[in-house]
Amino acid sequence: MNTSKYDETVALLKDQNPDLFNDPDEMLRRMEEFEASAAQEEDPVAKSLYLQGRNLLACALGRELLPEPDISAQAEEAVSEPTIPEQVVAIKVGSKVYAGAMKQSLAVMTDLRIETYFNNRILVQDLLAGKICGIISVSFKDGRADSIIRHDLKNLPGWDVARANSFPLPPVSDIREPVLLVNILELAAKMHQGEFFDRKEEKFDLEDHLAELRSTMLAPKSQLSVMVVDDMPDEVAGMMRLLNVWPGGLVINEAAIGQSHIVDSDEQSLVVIIERPDIVLLDEDIGDIKGSDVAEVLLDKDFEGILASITGGECPEFTRYHFGSKTSIQTSRQAAERFISFMNKLIDQVS
C-alpha cells in the first residue's frame, strides 16, 4: 500500500506528540490495539478508522500497511452529551459507532482538543456556548455543513432566518468519502492554530453569469413542469432565477408561498396533485407542517413525479434527491453550478 498519504502527517504528529512517537514500544502496542479493534469491528466505517490509526503508526514504524475497507455505511443517530472543558474542534459524523471509533483513533494520534458529534442539537448547543473553534463535517450525503447548521439555528425558539444567517460561525470544512484520518488531523491542527481559512470565491453576482450558466443546463427532451414548494421566497430566489432561464421550456410553479396559505399536509398535497408536476422541489419546513408530511400524502395518493428535497438541513427520508445550498446560489458560483448539476440529474431521470 502506498504510504505517501501518511508521510506528511507522521512528520506533523512527531512534532505535536513527541512522547508517543519517541517510544517505539508504545507505538507498537497502540498499533496492535488498533489492529485488534479493527478485526473485531463489523461496521466498515469504524473498521476503516481503526485501520487508519493502525496504518499511521505502522508508517511511522516502517511496518507494512494493511488494506483499508471501502467506507460506505452509517449507523443510526443517537443522543450523547459530550464533555468539553474548553474550546474544541468539532467533528460532525453520522453515527454513534463512527463517532466512537474516530474519537479513539484521534485521541491516540494527537493531544489536540477534538470532540466528535453525531447529533446536530448537541453540536449547536455547544456552538452557542462558545465551546467550538472549528467544525469538520464528515458526510456521505450532499449538503454543506454551514447551511445545515444555520438551518438548525433558524429553528431554535426566538430565532429566524435573518438571525441564523448573521450568526458568526467558526471555520467549517466538509469532508466527503473517502474519509482519511490524515486529512482530519491536518484540518483540526490548522483550526486550533487559527491558520485555517476557506478559499474565498471572487465576488459573484448570479445575474452577470446567467448566459454562461445556461450553457451547462440540460434541456429536457419534452416540456417538463417543476413545482417549488417553500414558504420563504428570499431563500429560493436564486433557484427560481435559474429555473426561469432553463432551456427547453420548463414550466415553473410555486406553492406554499406564505404560511397563511398552508392549512394542512392534505391540502398542500392536493395543490401539487392538481398541478401534476414532473418534479417537485420540496422544503422540509413550510409553515406549520413538514415537507415530509406533504410527501407522505402524495405517495399515498400514487404521485408519479420526482420528489426532491431543498431543505437546508440533512436530507429527509422521503427522497434520495437533496440540494441543501439554496440560500447561496445568488452569491456563490459553486452553489449555482451544484444546483444546475442537481437539476440536470432530475431532468435526466424524467426526460
Q: Shortest CA distance to 45 belongs to which of 23, 68, 17, 26?
A: 68
The strand pairing partners of 90, in sequence order, are: 115, 135
Task: Specify the pairing of strand 285-286 against strand 289-290.
Answer: antiparallel
Query: Going along 256-295, which residue ranges are E strands?
Result: 279-282, 285-286, 289-290
CATH superfamily, with its number, for domain 206-350: Response regulator (3.40.50.2300)
**What does the alpha-carbon distance between residue 25 and residue 230 come to, in Å, rounded to a whole number?**
60
Q: What is the DSSP letter of 322?
A: B
Residue 242: predicted pLDDT:
93
Residue 77: predicted pLDDT:
34
Give me the amino acid identity at 82: P
Residue 83: predicted pLDDT:
39
Give every residue of the chain whose pLDDT is below 50, as ranges.
1-2, 71-85, 199-201, 256-265
Residue 260: predicted pLDDT:
34
Q: Shortest CA distance to 210 belongs to which of 339, 350, 346?
A: 339
Which string of b and e fits 19-36 if b means at least 16 CB within 10 Å? ebbeeeeebeebbebbbe
What phi, psi does 342 have (nearest 5°)?
-60, -45
Residue 6: predicted pLDDT:
62
Domain range annotation of the chain? 1-199, 206-350
C-alpha distances out from residue 340 to 67, 144, 240, Å: 37, 16, 12
Q: What is the DSSP letter of 224?
A: -
DSSP secondary structure string, 48-63? HHHHHHHHHHHHHHTP
Is 175 in a helix, a strand, or coil? strand
Residue 180: predicted pLDDT:
67
What pLDDT, in 10s, does the model give residues 198-221? 544 457 889 988 988 998 999 888
What is the pTM assigned to this prediction?
A: 0.52
Q: Shortest CA distance to 73 belongs to which of 102, 98, 49?
A: 98
